[in-house]
Structure 1
Amino acid sequence: MNRHHLGWIIALTALFSLPVPVQAQVGGKVRVYFGTFSSDLSSGIYLSTLDLERGTLTPAELAVEAASPSFLAIHPTNKFLYAVSEITTSEGKGERGVGAFLIEPNTGRLTLLNQQPSTGAGPCHLVVDGVGKNVLVANYGGGSVAVLPIRDDGHLSPASSSIQHQGKSVNPERQEAPHAHSINVDRASKFAFAADLGLDKILIYQFDSANGKLTPNNPPAGVVAPGSGPRHFAFHPTGRYAFVNNELNSTVTSFAYDPAHGSLTAIQTTSTVPQPIPNNYTAETVAHPSGKFVYVSNRGHDSLAIFGVDEKTGRLTALGHQPTGGNTPRNFNIDPSGRYILAANQDTNNVVVFRIDSQTGLLSPTGSSITVGRPVCVRFMPLGQ
């Protein structure tokens, strides 16, 4: 063998020994989990695969049986999944509060590890902190938030911190008491943010991840207009801005975020519908990975509102609306590549795939729609992990 041939062999050996991205290994596909409300068509958490080339979903399969596992959160290691059981028990302190599940790497099937009380009635939303040490949960019915530490084996420990919200706002039917509707953490996992529909506030907490503790921050909250009903909260990819959809008055508010002090300063509030729509309620807010767009779902108008983001100011510009191909889009999500939105239509039991135009942010159906009974959460995970 001459030196020329030997050089080529060495080069090819080095090339094929390089790490291959997970998506390339599996042909450009990602795993998708769907949280649901229990019904005749749904009995737990469901699983599908999104083809990133074609924009198609495989038929949904049951990943594990569970009682109304509405909202889901995946651990940063992709080894564990956590779900709230959005059911009514005595003071929300029954065994079905938050469940921990082991993810089988090859199939994506789930095995229950354990459950812990959420320390409040009606758990409705949860996240895992950035370092994978804690689950933070929001209790809508009880108007409270809590932290559940994660053990090394993925099991949940009892709550290490729990805070009861206090007060009310102007809508006597929906804001007669606190209703914590979501909880999020910033990129540094230093602060936590609880959007409370009943208080018209995004309550801000200093977050000690190492000890699983929440402490009221100063300033204590970001504030929206009375009667707005803030629901779900999302950071801009730069971490400089945040956005919350207001369920009761069909608006979205953008905030400037100060990561040093955890403060939120309102910039702008704008409508999510083209004209007033009776009985329309917003549900979810998601910022595009590029930072160029923000999307909000409308239940009633049954659409995704599309906004452009001015990255210098954080202001939003309405770009249009996309019908979701079903009724009551309670949740939707953008795949990690930023190419597709999956809209989960709760009352028509379907999930519809839309392709995102990377230049305009506008959406177009790919033609793929699958049946999922009462879908209320969409979460992505790389295949092969």
Structure 2
Amino acid sequence: MNTRTLVFVGCLNRRVPYFSTANGRGIVVYSFDEAAGRLTPLAETTDIPNPTYLAVIASRGLLYATSEVFGESEGLVSAYRIDLESGALVLINRQPTRGSLSAHCNVDRQATTVFVANYAHETAGEIPGRHVSSFAVLDNGGLSAVSSEFAHSGSGPKLDRQSVPHAHCVVPSPDNRFAIVTDLGTDELIAYRIDVDNGRLESPDTSALRMKAGAGPRHLVFHPDGLAAYVVNELDSTVCRLGYSPVNGVLRLLETVDALPGNPGAGQPADLQIAPDGHYLYASIRGKDTIGIYTLDKATGEILSTSVRSAGGMTPRSFALSPSGRFMLVALQDSDRLAVFRIDPSTGEPAEEVDTVEVGTPMCVKAVRFG
């Protein structure tokens, strides 16, 4: 097969109380022209409820999707094989996630383990009540029964959002030794060891990094140098630079900036991405319908400056950089559209909008190169 880029969009198709619409049908697949920035629809999968987060193993043509279903004690994680020519997804199997409101999934860097973060209802004592779970990737690409599971404890000062733990993402370290979990409810970043041989996580053996009380850490990315990471905080609308020790997985807080300059605490940021060269960091800011662009020092990773541009529509929940780094694809949840922007290489900013497609309530977008 020749090299090609596919774009996967998970769309809300069941109403939940905290989202205004559910106009999607499931997972939509597009081919993407990396020269022109154009999307071409290929396929749609409707057999999955509320696929609000996706993860892909490009080398094996596999996709995993979490189902965020309100009112149920467990979500689902589904495994699909991707037909790389047609874009069709073929279901392999599903597993319960051992916790409610499954908000995020990811894959370790050796493609042995799928991780799930369960956000959880705002309900103490929920059963089974696990906030982090893992699943071994089987020979056929499917998922084993849960291989490890963990429950967090604690709360934060903003009791309307932090009365219980809320795991929000799981990110493997660049050396694949640790998986960092952000907990929006307890204001913590927790480093679990990855057991690659057995497709599971091991209990943390270092203390969690406690963020500012009420910050609400949501998403995290590593710098390409493997020695720094960044976290976007939903509740106090800040972006933090962190130091990372590959030896023991310990994180330390180095720097905090407002996600929106001159507008502290505003915006409700969501997603976070970093440019392949590590020179720019990006955050989607739902409450202001904008993208924040943060210029980084190439040597230290320090945040040097911040700029903001329109996201091209309402509620930019998720966005992705194309594999070439030349385009940004923004999922506009409440505009029912996916917008493509060309990135200006001299400023790092998403500049002209080069394409847009209509898609119902897009919640997650991934752009992946195959071949």
C-alpha separation between the residues in 2 aligned to 1:53 and 1:202? 38
The answer to whether the aligner puts 1:129 opposite 2:108 as a matched pair is: yes
Structure 1 segments (4+ residues) deviating >4 Å: none
C-alpha separation between the residues in 1 aligned to 2:79 and 2:41? 25
Identity between Structure 1 and Structure 2 (%): 35
Deviates more, 1:145-154 or 1:56-65: 56-65
1:212 deviates by 2.7
What's the secondary structure of 2:73's corresponding residue? Answer: helix
Deviates more, 1:345-354 or 1:309-318: 309-318
1:32 deviates by 0.4
1:346 deviates by 0.4
User: Gaps spanning 5+ residues in structure 1: where?
Assistant: 1-20, 24-28
Residue 3 of structure 1: aligned partner: none
Give per-residue Cα distances to partners, 1:33-58, cap 9 Å, x unaligned: 00111156311100112211112222
From the superposition, tell whether residues 369 and 277 of structure 1 become closer, same or farther in structure 2 (CA, over 3 Å).
Answer: farther
Give per-residue Cα distances to partners, 1:152-187, cap 9 Å, x unaligned: 001111111000001011111111110001111112
Residue 25 of structure 2: aligned partner: 43
Residue 365 of structure 1: aligned partner: 352
The answer to whether the aligner puts 1:55 opposite 2:37 as a matched pair is: yes
From the superposition, tell whether residues 278 and 167 of structure 1 become closer, same or farther in structure 2 (CA, over 3 Å).
Answer: closer
8 Å contact kept, 1:267–1:314:
no
C-alpha separation between the residues in 1 aligned to 2:10 and 2:336? 12
From the superposition, tell whether residues 277 and 224 of structure 1 become closer, same or farther in structure 2 (CA, over 3 Å).
Answer: closer
C-alpha separation between the residues in 2 aligned to 1:134 and 1:143? 17
**Equivalent residue pairs, number:** 356
User: Gaps spanning 5+ residues in structure 2: where?
Assistant: 15-21, 121-128
TM-score under structure 1 normalisation?
0.88
Letter in 2 for 1:234: V
Residue 13 of structure 1: aligned partner: none
1:219 deviates by 2.6
8 Å contact kept, 1:287–1:294:
yes
C-alpha separation between the residues in 2 aligned to 1:152 and 1:143? 26
Letter in 2 for 1:226: A
C-alpha separation between the residues in 2 aligned to 1:349 and 1:59? 15
C-alpha separation between the residues in 2 aligned to 1:124 and 1:202? 16
C-alpha separation between the residues in 2 aligned to 1:147 and 1:61? 29
Residue 340 of structure 1: aligned partner: 327
C-alpha separation between the residues in 1 aligned to 2:251 and 2:92? 37
Instruction: Write the mapping of 1:135-284 to structure 2, written as runs, cut at 5 A.
Output: 135-141=114-120, 142=129, 144-276=131-263, 280-284=267-271
Larger radius of gyration: 1
1:322 deviates by 1.4
Give per-residue Cα distances to partners, 1:128-171, cap 9 Å, x unaligned: 11111110000001461011111000111111100000101111
TM-score under structure 2 normalisation?
0.91
C-alpha separation between the residues in 2 aligned to 1:210 and 1:124? 26
Residue 69 of structure 2: aligned partner: 87
1:318 deviates by 2.6
From the superposition, tell whether residues 260 and 61 of structure 1 become closer, same or farther in structure 2 (CA, over 3 Å).
Answer: same
What's the secondary structure of 1:174's corresponding residue? Answer: helix
Letter in 2 for 1:140: Y
Q: Give the CA RMSD over aligned residues.
A: 1.8
Give per-residue Cα distances to partners, 1:284-343, cap 9 Å, x unaligned: 110100110000110111111000111332211233111111111100010110100001
1:279 deviates by 6.0
